[in-house]
Amino acid sequence: MTLLNAADVPTATPHRVPETTRADVLAFVADIARLTKPAAIHWCDGSLAEREAVLSELVAAGTIEKLNDDLRPNSYLARSDESDVARVESRTFICSESEKDAGPTNNWADPDEMRATLGGLFTESMRGRTMYVVPFLMGPVGSPVTRVGIEITDSPYVVASMGIMTRMGRIALDVIEAGADWVKAVHSVGAPLEHGEADVAWPSNPTKYITHFPETREIWSFGSAYGGNALLGKKSFALRIASAMARDEGWLAEHMMLVKVTSPEGQIAHIAAAFPSACGKTNFAMMQPTLPGWTVETLGDDIVWMWVDDDGRLRGINPEAGFFGVAPGTGMKTNPVAMQTLWGNTLFTNVARTDDGDVWWEGMSKPVPQHLTDWRGQSWTPESGTPAAHPNSRFTVAIDQCPSAASEWNDPRGVVIDAIVFGGRRSDTMPLVVEARSWEHGVYLGATMASERTAAAEGVVGELRRDPFAMAPFTGYNVGDHWSHWLHIGERLAASGTQPHIFHVNWFRRDSDGSFLWPGFGDNIRVVQWMMDRLAGRVGASDSPIGALPRLGDLTLDGLDMTIEAAHQILTVDSDEIRADARDAHNLFASVGDTVPAALMRENARTLQLCD
């Protein structure tokens, strides 16, 4: 897509001469400069000196403040505008040539009409600002599914964050120079500056668009400087555009975390798990098991790209290089590994600041500090009646700083996937864990998974919504075709007899008083133990309308403060609840229409039949 007006390329002096001979790259940068009229152009090389310069620029602008080096070395706190605090799903569009290809879970926009809209918005949108050219890799160099992009942005906050979240700069430009195809990503905060006009600490625009053009592999984002709206390598590239690429090229781009689990006996399993945002992915990815002798090593906490290797096995990598985690609820009790990872070199956004120059958020520690500066920059005490940190406040930190990071996290060969787990935040209906009857049934469980909405996205917190594969906001094409693609991958794996087992978990089941029945966190290893016993064929299971459930004696419950009645409640299902849930899933299928695979309709009918 080319968005041009009649003006010439501005006379902007680059901070650094571009180190590329690719004519298409140079033309892209020139076209965007001609359109947006920046005051200067900076080609990012990803060096430490560059990072320090960008951080200094952000401090001078008031966008971030440096934290106390004695308490949190080389770390910074950003406070966003109050209108720019989360993904804006209502302003996120898939601009496929066919509306049907976007499907019912996406907002579709006609690509020609959207190009016209964007052309107006981006015209002179970077006036008075530096335009940064950010080459970046998704995945380690040399992996068969590693892909490369170039994000153009006028936000130094985005540059600093992309330097943590991706392999950014010279390393990516070298891959482009070697002849790789690349994804175009253009971002502007939409806040041009007149000569001499004072800037604001968090420039943004009330008008927001996050747009994706799957056929031409392009992303255009306007107005927001926050998270996945602006860090275009994350949800926009690694899921929405990459999922369309994966469909066309025969692999998978999924909203999953990835871990390596080792038992006391030395059994190793690599597990990919899909959970909606803020529903426990990072806690699972950094689990510290409560059972002696077990280890969980982190490969990734949010996105997994998977492919069928030459031996017919499913392999996966984490395409990211950092964590962009939800801060509230993260503490030494819930996720000690994350807390250890955040010792320094971290960019925090919208958390509170302590009087001695450190950070704090709800769930981080007890007792609660008696005075803080909250995420809005205002004085806060426990009597203030408002959260000190925004519910969707974040930390951005490199994976290689994580003490539980597996040595394979940066291996271009990836790891063989042994099990796939789906899950959601359900207070009822779904048991603690269930194993799918088959690959087709596992795809059905993934397609019909539901979760109570969290603060990480727009909408009413607590509302139950269907979130197929935890990809409802992220699938870059028709959701029914996504399910068919999973079935096709399963057929390829079946030919070699290497299909991973598929499970569904629900850590959030509640009793009649509203209390959680399962302790979660490090005790989730008890569920993983049962999964690995199933992989090895060591234990049986009880049949149910939704799959195989653990028998009470096969799940290690020793040491838990749990009654037999509570254990029975989380390990059984109510046929009436499952029937109602399956009927609601059928409504989902009806809304998706004729792209729903026949195999999933059969699984839905079978579930209803087994409830009778």
Closest CA to 66 of 399, 401, 344: 344
- 279 catalytically annotated: yes
Q: Which one, of 396, 234, 403, 258, lies nearest residue 326 by Cα?
A: 396
CB 352 within 8 A of CB 380: yes
Are the C-beta atoms of 502 and 267 separated by less than 8 Å? no
How many other CB atoms are found less than 10 A from the CB of residue 610?
A: 17
* Residues in a beta bridge with 542: 549
Both tokens assigned to 513 = 């008083």
Q: Which residues pair with 76 in a beta bridge?
A: 66, 347
Taking alpha carbons only, the member of 16, 317, 23 closest to residue 176 is: 23
Assign 3-class secondary structure to 105-152. CCEECCHHHHHHHHHHHHCCCCCCCEEEEEEEEECCCCCCCCEEEEEE
CA distances from 200 to 61, 67, 178, 190, 503 (A): 8, 21, 40, 13, 48
Longest dimension (CA), the chain: 75
Spatial separation of the C-alpha atoms in residues 297 and 292, rounded to whole Å: 15
- Sorted by sequence, the CB contacts under 8 Å of residue 292 that are 6+ apart come out as 264
CB 260 within 8 A of CB 250: no
DSSP 8-state code for residue 8:
P
Q: Of 95, 279, 402, 611, which residue is the catalytic one? A: 279
Reduce the DSSP state of residue 188 to 3 states and report it. strand
Helices (H), 276-356: 281-285, 336-341
- 3-state DSSP of 43-107: ECCCCHHHHHHHHHHHHHHCCEEECCCCCCCCCEEECCCCCCCCCCHHHEEECCCCHHHHCCCCE
Instruction: Return the percent helix, strand and coil in the chain, to nearest 5.
Output: 30, 20, 45
Distance CA 310, CA 101 (A): 30
Residues in a beta bridge with 175: none
Which residues are CB-contacts of 107 (< 8 A; sequence separation ≥ 6)? 89, 90, 92, 93, 94
Burial class (CB in 10 A: 0-12, 13-18, 19+), 411: middle
Closest by alpha carbon to 434, among 348, 555, 315? 555
Residues serving a catalytic function are 279
